[in-house]
Amino acid sequence: MEEMLRAVDGSWQKSMVAPRKLILKSFQSPGGIVMLTAAAALSSSHQSAQKVVTIAQLDCNLSKYRAERKRIVFTNGCFDLLHVGHVTYLQEAARLGDVLVVAVNSDAAVKRLKGKSRPVNSQSDRAAMLAVLGCVNHELLFDDDTPHVLLHRLRPDVLVEGGTYTEQEVVGREIVNAY
């Protein structure tokens, strides 16, 4: 499908955007300003793509961070309908340490946790949106309903939960408090 984009100087430029696929498209306006579509911003960042890691890659990275005496912060969630509350909570979580690891529930886990009509956004789209946030250092997709297995393996220094949970309601707190 062809989409028209308006440049800062008011001129119109064409961009080809395929449904459900992000395509890099940039152009230079007559005023010399380079414009990128929102899709391009998500798909073009090599650094963002490197944030989504496997558990083995994360183990290696965390070993390096621990050797550097960095404080590791962990949080998890579905992040299906990303909103300003999520972004604020992730920024605040990042301030509690040196490295923020975000575990993102897989599509299958979101469906189990939120119902048959969810997720609205695929796990790859959710991961791409979180990856462009500067406060997120690493992301990991996981298929469990709780982060217990990840917490046992990764042993973060800080566990953060968004919302208005009491300490007793935070899933996995007993694991982090035990070490």
The structural domain count of the chain equals 2
**Hey, what are 38's tokens?**
């929102």
Instruction: Say whether both 59 and 87 belong to one domain.
Output: yes
Report how far residue 53's alpha carbon sits from residue 35's, in angstroms, rounded to the nearest whole number: 29
Predicted local confidence at residue 48, as pLDDT: 64
Instruction: Say whether both 10 and 78 belong to one domain.
Output: no
Domain that holds residue 27: 2-44
Q: Which helix (H) or strand (E) holds 131?
A: helix 123-131
Predicted local confidence at residue 82, as pLDDT: 86
pLDDT in tens, 37-51: 444 444 444 456 689
Provide long-range contacts, Cβ within 8 A and 24+ apart, for 21-26. Answer: 22/128
Q: What is the pTM of this model?
A: 0.74
Instruction: Say whether both 113 and 145 belong to one domain.
Output: yes
Instruction: Say whether both 96 and 130 belong to one domain.
Output: yes
Instruction: Say whether both 173 and 101 belong to one domain.
Output: yes
159 and 170 in contact (C-beta within 8 Å)? yes
Instruction: Say whether both 29 and 63 belong to one domain.
Output: no
What is the full per-residue pLDDT of the chain (179 aa) written as tens digits? 333 333 344 444 443 333 333 333 334 444 444 434 444 444 444 456 689 999 999 999 999 999 999 999 999 999 988 899 999 999 999 999 999 999 999 999 999 999 999 999 999 999 999 999 999 999 999 999 999 999 999 999 999 988 777 888 889 999 999 98
Instruction: Say whether both 53 and 124 belong to one domain.
Output: yes
Quick one: which of 29, 34, 28 has its CA closest to 11? Answer: 29
pLDDT in tens, 117-154: 999 999 999 999 999 999 999 999 999 999 999 999 99
Instruction: Say whether both 29 and 88 belong to one domain.
Output: no
Read off the amino acid at residue 177. Answer: N
DSSP state of 45: -
Instruction: Say whether both 68 and 53 belong to one domain.
Output: yes
In the sheet with 138-142, reading across from the earlier edge strand, the strands are 138-142, 99-105, 72-77, 158-159
Instruction: Say whether both 124 and 172 belong to one domain.
Output: yes
**Hey, what are 158's tokens?**
């800080």
- Phi–psi pair at 9, nearest 5 degrees: -80, 0
Instruction: Say whether both 10 and 73 belong to one domain.
Output: no
Instruction: Say whether both 125 and 153 belong to one domain.
Output: yes
Find the CATH number of the domain harbouring 118. 3.40.50.620
